[in-house]
């Protein structure tokens, strides 16, 4: 009989590791642009830090997946922990000394982003070895609930600490990473691909995860429509709502309430997911989520109340979180063990690559067409996505690999859909979101979750 998650020592350690690291990261992510703004007075330089971090994540995400399938994953996570701790330590010392050069800030942000790109797929692989397949949905939901809670609390704590002394948020981030490092060091389970990936810079290895996703029709359709299309459209929708209900920037109260509701919706969805067994009802949840977003876009075109707008957006985010947890659980179970790093990083890449462009598109539509038409165009994009996931045969079929098209598993590995073997001596967990991944967030700021983010 499989060990329950409550009694699963290594899962508890992974959960605590993520809690400490994400809390520290959220405080640091808020304080870093404030620090640059205070020292330089330049909003451009403050924004540059986030841009560099996001760019570094996107560039290194696929190579990070290859690394996770080459090196023993627990060891790789420990190495990333040490690197992250060293980077944050350097920044903390510099801030306490009253001088944090822009070059050091950019170096730390880049290092954190690169290390996170390696750490995240390794953490997914280790989670696969720690959690049994029938508990994967519950485990993923608990990790998402943890991350959503910390994202609500972390910025508030970071802002309060920054008000006392500008070095305190970075000191708290250092302590969080230190505790996270200790938790990972205590994990006993090992996870190593039985057939190791080739060179990190090999085109074949870099695209192996994308190839696997493309050759399974269900995964391909859901990721392209729910991951790419819905992420993009919902990003445009929430930005438009932020601008409209902030009265064009004259008041931040209404828009801020809408965005807070989105974060709260993610938390509620993560808390409800274990009760709904999302991994057993993925298609239904995805379809409901997509059409709910269509209805929300139509309603926002006519609403003038930030309260109602926030509640509708919260509902969409709640449903999206539950559906994404179910899809991610399915993805982890059907992916061959020796490719879990590359497939996870490829799925995260597809879900993340369009996120920066959603707000840009929303702003352009709002400027060119006005609020009502902007919501209408966004609703049309959402409706197309909803129609595809509702009627596409590949989505109806579910996560069943096509024997003629699926990538053959190397000798000694299971094929997609075959029950995962349980490792001896152990029970079988971000951006991402994205859903959020089980990896503790490193120094790089993490993009906000959107419907479909994996």
Residue pair 238/366 in contact (Cβ under 8 Å)? The answer is no
Which pLDDT does position 166 carry in this prediction? Answer: 86
Q: Model confidence over 5-39: pLDDT tens digits?
A: 788 889 999 999 888 888 888 887 778 777 887 77
pLDDT of amino acid 388: 92
C-alpha distances in angstroms, 391 versus 278, 386, 394, 395, 447? 20, 9, 9, 8, 30
Distance CA 217, CA 303 (A): 38
pLDDT of residue 399: 66
State how far the Cα of 103 lies from the Cα of 22, in Å rounded to an integer.
24
Q: Are 263 and 148 within 8 A, CB to CB?
A: yes
Of the candidates 173, 158, 176, 213, the one whose C-alpha atom is nearest the C-alpha of residue 339 is 213
CA distances from 90 to 99, 178, 335 (A): 11, 14, 38
CA distance 59 to 313: 31
In tens, the pLDDT along 79-116 reads: 888 888 998 899 999 999 888 888 888 888 888 888 88
Select from 350, 318, 354 the least CA-distant residue to 331. 350
Residue among 219, 226, 218, 223 at smallest CA distance from 397: 218
Ranked by mean pLDDT, which of 48-52, 155-159, 180-184, 249-253 comes out on top? Answer: 180-184
Other CB atoms closer than 10 Å to residue 191's CB: what's the count? 26
> Is 340's pLDDT higher than 70?
yes
Q: What percent of the chain has pLDDT over 90?
A: 13
User: What is the pLDDT, as a whole number, of residue 171?
Assistant: 92
- R_g over Cα of the chain: 21
| Residue 291 near residue 400 (C-beta atoms within 8 A) | no
The DSSP call for residue 300 is H
The pLDDT score that the predictor gives to residue 318 is 92
Query: Is the pLDDT at 248 greater than 70, yes or no?
Result: no
pLDDT in tens, 370-410: 889 999 999 999 999 999 999 989 888 776 544 333 333 33
pLDDT confidence of residue 344: 85
Least confident window among 185-199, 249-263, 376-390:
249-263
Distances (CA, A) of 133 to 7, 195, 283, 393, 401: 16, 21, 19, 26, 17
Question: pLDDT at position 287, please?
Answer: 92
Task: Please say if the pLDDT value at position 186 is more than 70.
Answer: yes
DSSP 194: S
Counted residue by residue, the chain has a size of: 454
Q: What is the mean pLDDT of residues 130-137?
A: 84
pLDDT digits (tens, 9 = 90+) for 213-244: 998 889 889 988 888 888 888 888 888 888 88
Residue 252 has what pLDDT?
60
pLDDT confidence bin for 367, thresholds 50/70/90? confident
pTM: 0.73
Q: How far apart are CA 300 and CA 308, in angstroms?
A: 9
Please compute, for residue 25, the number of CA atoms within 13 A of its CA located in the half-sphere on the CB side: 31
CA distance 354 to 351: 7
Q: What is the mean pLDDT of the chain?
A: 79
> Pick from 48, 40, 60: which is nearest to 442 by CA?
60
**pLDDT for the residue 400:** 55
Q: Looking at residue 64, what is its pLDDT? A: 87
Cα of 378 vs its chain's centroid, Å: 23
pLDDT of residue 386: 92
Residue 437: DSSP 8-state? -
> Residue 370 region, left (φ>0) first, then alpha (ψ -120 to 50), else beta?
left
pLDDT number for residue 312: 92
Task: Measure the CA–CA gap between 412 and 435, rounded to whole angstroms.
Answer: 30
Confidence of residue 333 (pLDDT cuts 50, 70, 90): confident
């Amino acid at each position: 009989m499989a060990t329950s998650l409550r009694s699963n020592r290594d899962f508890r350690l992974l959960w605590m590791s993520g809690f400490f690291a994400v809390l520290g990261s959220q405080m640091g992510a808020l304080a870093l642009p404030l620090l640059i703004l205070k020292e330089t007075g330049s909003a451009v330089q403050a924004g540059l830090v986030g841009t560099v971090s996001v760019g570094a994540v996107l560039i290194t995400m696929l190579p990070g997946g290859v690394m996770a399938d080459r090196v023993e994953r627990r060891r790789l996570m420990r190495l990333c922990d040490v690197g992250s701790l060293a980077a944050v330590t350097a920044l903390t010392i510099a801030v306490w000394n009253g001088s944090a050069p822009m070059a050091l800030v950019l170096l730390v942000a880049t290092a954190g982003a690169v290390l996170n790109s390696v750490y995240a797929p390794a953490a997914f692989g280790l989670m696969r070895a720690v959690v049994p397949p029938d508990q994967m949905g519950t485990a993923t939901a608990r990790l998402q609930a943890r991350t959503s809670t910390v994202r609500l609390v972390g910025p508030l704590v970071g802002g309060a600490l920054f008000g006392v002394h500008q070095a305190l948020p970075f000191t708290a981030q250092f302590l969080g990473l230190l505790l996270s490092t200790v938790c990972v060091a205590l994990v006993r389970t090992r996870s190593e691909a039985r057939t190791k990936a080739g060179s990190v810079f090999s085109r074949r290895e870099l695209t192996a995860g994308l190839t696997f996703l493309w050759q399974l029709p269900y995964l391909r359709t859901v990721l392209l429509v729910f991951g790419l299309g819905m992420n993009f459209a919902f990003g445009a929708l929430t930005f438009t709502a932020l601008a409209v209900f902030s009265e064009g920037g004259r008041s931040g109260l209404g828009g801020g309430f809408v965005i807070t509701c989105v974060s709260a919706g993610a938390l509620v969805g993560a808390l409800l997911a274990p009760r709904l067994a999302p991994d057993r009802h993925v298609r239904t949840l995805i379809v409901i989520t997509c059409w709910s977003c269509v209805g929300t876009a139509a309603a926002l075109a006519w609403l003038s109340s930030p309260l109602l707008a926030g509640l509708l957006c919260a509902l969409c985010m709640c449903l999206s979180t539950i559906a994404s947890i179910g899809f991610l659980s399915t993805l982890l179970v059907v992916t061959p063990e020796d490719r879990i790093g590359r497939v996870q990083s490829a799925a995260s890449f597809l879900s993340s690559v369009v996120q920066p462009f959603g707000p840009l598109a929303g702003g352009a539509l709002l400027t060119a067409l006005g609020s009502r038409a902007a919501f209408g165009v966004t609703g049309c994009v959402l409706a197309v996505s909803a129609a595809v996931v509702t009627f596409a045969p590949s989505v109806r079929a579910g996560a069943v690999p096509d024997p003629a098209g699926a990538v053959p598993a190397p000798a000694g590995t299971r094929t997609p859909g075959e029950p995962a073997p349980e490792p001896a001596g152990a029970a079988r967990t971000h951006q991402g979101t994205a859903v959020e991944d089980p990896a503790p967030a490193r120094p790089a700021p993490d993009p906000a979750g959107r419907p479909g983010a994996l």
